[in-house]
Amino acid sequence: MPTRTARTAWTGGLQDGSGQVELTSSGVGKYDVSFPKRSADNADGATSPEELIAAAHSSCYAMALSAQIGNAGGTVQSLDVTADVTLGPDPAGGFRISKIKLTVRGKADGIDAAAFQQAAEGAKAGCPVSKALAGVDDIELDASFEG
């Protein structure tokens, strides 16, 4: 299996510094990062590790759910997956990812709502990014089947 690479070039300290994350393997872009923007309510044009984790988790989960639905005999018509990743204080000091909420709205043929819910839970447990994030205490799933 392939290895994917991202690179960050950083200058300065935590509060006054900034950097640029480059998605090296794909070459699709470079994105600004800074701690003040990371910890602010408004990202103001910069990304953050949490947003990048959210992108990874939502896309991985969509793939895993598509596979689970297929294994259950269904055919995916559409999946809309959002991952909300929350940065919070760590009781041991510093910060940690305190919560992730996966929200999925799906349409599929050949399965019912119960089979969709079972597939959604299976995808949450089996998604490689979910497994990598197993240290997060609260990974919530809100799955809704639209038929």
What's residue 104's pLDDT?
97
Q: Give the CA diameter of the chain.
A: 55
Helix axes 113-126 and 49-71, enclosed angle (nearest 10): 130
What's residue 28's pLDDT?
95
At the fourth CATH level, the homologous superfamily of domain 49-145 is: K homology (KH) domain (3.30.300.20)
- Please report which helix (H) or strand (E) contains residue 146, including its range: none
Answering whether pTM is above 0.85, one says yes
What's residue 1's pLDDT?
84
Pick from 105, 110, 115: nearest CA to 145: 105
Q: Spell out the per-residue pLDDT of the chain, length 147, in tens.
A: 899 999 999 999 999 999 999 999 999 999 999 999 998 889 999 999 999 999 999 999 999 999 999 999 999 999 999 999 999 999 999 999 999 999 999 999 999 999 999 999 999 999 999 999 988 988 999 999 987
What's residue 137's pLDDT?
87
Which residues, 6+ apart, have CB-to-CB distance to 12 below 8 Å?
18
What's residue 59's pLDDT?
98
Q: What share of the chain is helix, strand, coil (3-state, %, to 5)?
A: 30, 35, 35
Q: Encoding tokens for residue 117?
A: 């819910």
Q: What are the boundaries of each domain within the chain?
A: 7-39, 49-145
